[in-house]
């Protein structure tokens, strides 16, 4: 195995990489020594690795660039907890302790902070960074109209006033018409890229 290139067969998928990349993992470092004499070499020139191919793909990406931990997050779905769990298990098996511990301590949760708020007046506001703005029209119920032409915020206020109470019993308590209000939902995403840096190297 004088050539630095190596092909791995993982659950039917082929991954071409280099011995130096695999040496990031103590597990593979031991295997590479064993493979030097051609042990376990398959007929097609690849070496078999017993792992889930889809998860191993992420592990190999980390070994290629071990200076940064992976961020499995999207605006739509948030963090991919299932993928983090699978990668943690494989990192433990392949002895990538730094990656395993980083995921186990759930450090990735510090990489993205989501702040949401409802705003009815977006005028003259400047939003910086990664922001999602959604607008909704909300129909608000009408307010109570006092039979004696006074406005009350609470229906019971009319009952507390004797004149209002008499007028209400005679005429009922009408409501003003419903009104539409524009509400703006603002979601801001703040990224902390420093948490992704692998400073254990």
Q: Quick one: CATH architecture of 1-50? A: 2-Layer Sandwich (3.30)
pLDDT at 179: 76
Q: Check pLDDT > 80 for residue 133.
A: no
Burial group, residue 161, by CB count within 10 angstroms (0-12, 13-18, 19+) = middle
Instruction: Compute the average pLDDT of residues 104-120.
Output: 89
Convert the pLDDT of each residue in 45-94 to its tens digit.
999 999 999 999 999 999 999 999 999 999 889 999 999 999 999 999 99
Sequence ranges of the domains in the chain: 1-50, 115-189
How far apart, in whole angstroms, are the C-alpha atoms of residue 26 and residue 118? Answer: 50
Q: Is the model's pLDDT at 2 over the cut of 60?
A: no
Tens digits of residue pLDDT in 14-39: 999 999 999 999 999 999 988 887 77
DSSP character for 45?
S
pTM for the full predicted model? 0.71
Residues whose CB is less than 8 angstroms from the CB of residue 86 and which lie 6 or more positions away in sequence, other chains included: 52, 55
Contact in structure between 195 and 93 (CB atoms under 8 Å): no
Confidence of residue 1 (pLDDT cuts 50, 70, 90): very low
């Amino acid at each position: 195995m004088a050539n630095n290139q190596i092909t791995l067969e993982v659950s039917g998928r082929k991954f071409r990489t280099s011995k130096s990349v695999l040496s990031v993992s103590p597990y593979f470092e031991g295997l590479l020594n064993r493979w030097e004499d051609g042990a376990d070499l398959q007929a097609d020139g690849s070496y078999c690795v017993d792992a889930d191919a889809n998860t191993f793909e992420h592990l190999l990406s980390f070994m290629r660039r071990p200076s940064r931990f992976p961020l499995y997050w999207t605006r739509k779905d948030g963090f991919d907890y299932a993928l983090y769990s699978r990668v943690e298990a494989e990192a433990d098996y392949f002895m990538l302790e730094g990656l395993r511990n980083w995921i186990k301590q759930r450090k990735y949760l510090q990489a993205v902070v989501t702040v949401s708020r409802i705003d009815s007046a977006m005028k003259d506001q400047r939003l910086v960074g990664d922001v999602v703005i959604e607008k909704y029209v909300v129909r608000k119920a009408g307010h109570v109209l006092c039979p004696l032409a006074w406005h009350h915020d609470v229906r019971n206020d009319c009952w507390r006033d004797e004149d209002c109470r008499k007028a209400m019993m005679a005429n009922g308590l009408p409501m003003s018409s419903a009104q539409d209000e524009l509400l703006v939902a603002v979601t801001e995403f703040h990224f902390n890229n420093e948490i992704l840096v692998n400073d254990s190297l």
